[in-house]
Structure 1
Amino acid sequence: MHPDQPRVRRALATGAATLALVLVSSCSSAEAPERLGAGASDPGTGGGAEPQSSSDPAPEPLTVAFGGDVMFEGLLRSRLDDPATALGPIADQLSAADLAMVNLETAVTEGGSPAGKDFVFRAPASSLEALAAAGVDVATVANNHGMDYGEQGLLDTLDHGNASPVALVGAGRDADEAYTPHVAEVNGQSIALFGATDVLDDHLIPAWTAGGDSPGLASTKGDMRERMLTAVSEAAAEHDNVAVFLHWGLEGAHCPLPHAPELADDLVAAGAGAVVGGHAHVLSPGGFQGTAYVHYGLGNFVFYNFPGAAAETGVLTLTFDRGGVTAADWAPARIQGGVPVPYEGADADRAQRSWVDLRARCDLPLTDSPV
């Protein structure tokens, strides 16, 4: 979908001349891999179904960095005057991973009509430039602000996404598109990245949920839960790794809602190696459930400069390898001037311990390492 991203590559066939050289010298070479877009496949491999040739390099683990809720209202809007530096110092951590994904909690539009709700967010197309400059590859727009400016605002968002190097997931012009993941191939492994919302105002559910021929968001609410589980199962059968970014939780609450652990279990059983999310605007626990990783709330990321717990944030970097998550790193940060600034030294240690303590506080059986 976005083959020009320099940080994500895939091995390409090197042509007849190189093949002849392989046969003569019994050695092989491979060019640096590049990103695959959703639904793309390696030439001659039938979408990854064929086994690797003996000359291909062995698959290696890949890393994905996840950040929480992003919007550009209020004091954030002026940061878009220079999209190249809009996300500040956190860009280094996002760019260090093979892929990076955030929750884009705004309509990307300058049109549409505001929805009938208390808070509505929108941002210009330069917001996607800012994300791309900071190393973000994928953003989910499946959240309770994705259609803040109605159907037209969503269509504008999708159009801007198509013109951007940042792939948008969790929404579409119909349900098929909304429940389609972004697929990338990195280090010889494919990964499917989904977005879906578990939070919608009741009166907005019919208009905001993608239908057979109507624009909207991917959802896990009601009957749409099975649609999401099916999409994850199908992706897991086709790709090496699957991750789901959910909009879930209760605003202001560190602990997940009672149904969330079961929903996470169901997504993992369907084939997700990781389930992460946000919405509460404060941090929630994260850790391993077996060889899968679940994070119940990444908190705010690029957001209003609230004091206290709402300013605590961080970058979660997961290492994926053939269906499981083999390592996880939580790098805590604090929002200053609307953007995350990484903690250092003793402050980082304190923030790390505070976040880990949330597991016991919420009585969740999450661990530091896969079991």
Structure 2
Amino acid sequence: MRPLAPAAAAARSAPRLAPRPATALLPALVLAVAVALSGCQAAAPSTAAENSAPTGRTTAAPSTATHPAPTAPTAATTSTPAADPGTLTMAFAGDVHFEDYLAPLARHPHGLDELQSSLGAADLSMVNLETAITERGTKIGKEFHFRAPASALETIKGAGIDAVSMANNHGVDFGPVGLQDTLAAKKASPVPIVGIGKDEDEAFAPAILTAKGLKVAVFGASEVFEMTLARYSAGPGKGGIASASPVTRLREAVSRASARYDVVVVFLHWGLDYQKCPDQLSVQTAEALEQAGADIIVGGHSHRVNGAGWLGRSYVDYGFGNFVWWRSHEPDSRSGVLTLSIDVKAARGTKRTRTSVVRDAVWTPMLIGADGIPRPPAAADSARLLTLWKQAGQCAGLGTAPE
């Protein structure tokens, strides 16, 4: 077992209670930062899995014949580009729940449809669903408890989200009965749920998404040290969440998936509350998963936007911040969507050991409104938030291009 960082062992999720009003959000002019890479290596097609979940919209960023060197942040328009069969786009965002004034959205399948213009604009998208899916059960002994009815999964689907991770410190907030309901909801869910299961085999199993002819394996796991991980980590014959500590089981699953699927994504719950820089344990986990063959390693938990960039051949983002959340004052309201462009030709290869399949990365700053829904703010705020994102990246120790 890896030694645990002392600070990590004490980490807990402790959001503050009362939301404060946010300033009104004006029409959006989204500022984004793009990092480009050329010369991705093509290789022979990989074998496809049988139990894939067909998904994938066709709106994607256009490719170009050549890719320039990393550039300064540029403005991104809100128009929808023509679909490019050579590029698969994947969008990621942070923590989603349906607490307090967000509760009505969980019973309205179109409650988050406006997110189709951000998350739904990519071929595939994924978030962290930070709540138990139950209306029963008993609260476990912690300060904050999140839950939502199974109908919330229809709301998630309506937002254009293709998969969620429930490997987090609120996935079993209502004990064994709540877990039973959550697992039942998972079976009937209109979107794949990863990172939680009736035993460790199910909890560590990836969902297989299909788009642009690629098979994308997505995992979920947590290394936030608190009651959920201590009591409800999945094991042999034991239901719960996938634990990334020790990282051994997750690393083995990622290694197997890397040999079988075109793209491997790991969505982690990691880091320390209210910190914009990764802790040492998160860095060690990212390094282990990069070595295991993960193409994309992302996640959150800190309630703060963290930095992103390349670690070896993997693209890493240490924290997206909150997303659909009951916080509407800064810095809790800082949010955004990370959109990665994947080179389809390179991803189809099975001999791409040291080649990154991620060609471009774009961060779209957002602010969570007084209604708990994130939106791109006015141009001045977008520029300010982009600067803060760049500053967070300075302590992440990540590169602006793959090694």
In the alignment, does 2:178 pair up with 1:153?
yes
Greater RCO structure (CA 8 Å; 6+ sep)? 2
- 2:118 counterpart SS class: helix
- 1:166 counterpart SS class: coil
Question: How far did 1:161 drift?
Answer: 2.3
CA RMSD across the alignment: 2.1
Q: Which residue in the other structure is 1:266 paired with?
A: 288
Question: How far did 1:68 drift?
Answer: 0.3
Question: How far did 1:358 drift?
Answer: 1.1
- Per mean C-alpha deviation after superposition, the further-off stretch among 249-258 and 203-212 is 203-212
Instruction: Determine which of 116, 121, 124 is the counterpart of 2:141.
Output: 116
Q: Which residue in the other structure is 2:376 paired with?
A: 342
Distance 1:162 1:204, change over 3 A: closer
- 2:310 counterpart SS class: strand
Gaps of 5+ in 2: 1-50, 59-83, 348-355
In the alignment, does 2:213 pair up with 1:180?
no
Q: Which residue in the other structure is 1:26 paired with?
A: none
CA distance, structure 1, for counterparts of residue 374 and residue 52 of structure 2: 27
Mapping 1:4-153, distance limit 5 Å: 5=55, 7=57, 60-84=86-110, 86-87=111-112, 89-153=114-178
Question: How far did 1:261 drift?
Answer: 1.2
Q: Which residue in the other structure is 2:235 paired with?
A: 211
Q: Which residue in the other structure is 1:198 paired with?
A: 223
Question: How far did 1:151 drift?
Answer: 2.2
Question: How far did 1:2 drift?
Answer: 7.4
CA distance, structure 2, for counterparts of residue 265 and residue 5 of structure 1: 30
Q: Which residue in the other structure is 2:279 paired with?
A: 257
CA distance, structure 1, for counterparts of residue 322 and residue 202 of structure 2: 27
1:83-124 C-alpha deviation (Å, 9 max, x unpaired):
30x226333111111111000000011112211111111001
Q: Which residue in the other structure is 1:329 paired with?
A: 362
CA distance, structure 1, for counterparts of residue 297 and residue 377 of structure 2: 25
Q: Which residue in the other structure is 1:278 paired with?
A: 300
Distance 1:369 1:90, change over 3 A: farther
Distance 1:296 1:6, change over 3 A: closer
Q: Which residue in the other structure is 1:30 paired with?
A: none
The answer to whether the Cα contact below 8 Å between 2:298 and 2:319 also exists between their aligned partners in 1 is yes
Question: How far did 1:253 drift?
Answer: 1.0
Instruction: Determine which of 259, 274, 278 is the counterpart of 1:237.
Output: 259
The answer to whether the Cα contact below 8 Å between 2:165 and 2:219 also exists between their aligned partners in 1 is yes
The answer to whether the Cα contact below 8 Å between 2:133 and 2:182 also exists between their aligned partners in 1 is yes
The answer to whether the Cα contact below 8 Å between 1:291 and 1:326 also exists between their aligned partners in 2 is no
CA distance, structure 1, for counterparts of residue 124 and residue 180 of structure 2: 25
How many residue pairs get aligned? The number is 317
* TM-score, with length taken from structure 2: 0.74
Q: Which residue in the other structure is 2:334 paired with?
A: 312
Q: Which residue in the other structure is 2:245 paired with?
A: 221
CA distance, structure 2, for counterparts of residue 369 and residue 327 of structure 1: 9
CA distance, structure 1, for counterparts of residue 135 and residue 184 of structure 2: 12
CA distance, structure 1, for counterparts of residue 235 and residue 54 of structure 2: 32
CA distance, structure 2, for counterparts of residue 366 and residue 121 of structure 1: 33
The answer to whether the Cα contact below 8 Å between 2:53 and 2:210 also exists between their aligned partners in 1 is no
Instruction: Determine which of 294, 302, 323 is the counterpart of 1:301.
Output: 323
Distance 1:4 1:268, change over 3 A: closer
Question: How far did 1:80 drift?
Answer: 3.2
- 2:249 counterpart SS class: helix
Letter in 1 for 2:402: P
CA distance, structure 2, for counterparts of residue 4 and residue 113 of structure 1: 36
Identity of aligned residues (%): 43
Letter in 1 for 2:271: G
Distance 1:226 1:327, change over 3 A: same
Question: How far did 1:366 drift?
Answer: 2.2
Q: Which residue in the other structure is 2:402 paired with?
A: 370
Rg larger for: 1
CA distance, structure 1, for counterparts of residue 294 and residue 188 of structure 2: 29
Letter in 1 for 2:123: D
- 1:328 counterpart SS class: strand
Question: How far did 1:305 drift?
Answer: 2.3
Distance 1:238 1:302, change over 3 A: same
1:136-174 C-alpha deviation (Å, 9 max, x unpaired):
110000000011011221221122122122110001101
Question: How far did 1:5 drift?
Answer: 4.5
Gaps of 5+ in 1: 9-57
Instruction: Determine which of 244, 256, 268 is the counterpart of 1:246.
Output: 268
- 2:361 counterpart SS class: strand
Distance 1:2 1:134, change over 3 A: farther
Q: Which residue in the other structure is 2:29 paired with?
A: none
In the alignment, does 2:375 pair up with 1:353?
no
Distance 1:6 1:250, change over 3 A: closer
* TM-score, with length taken from structure 1: 0.81
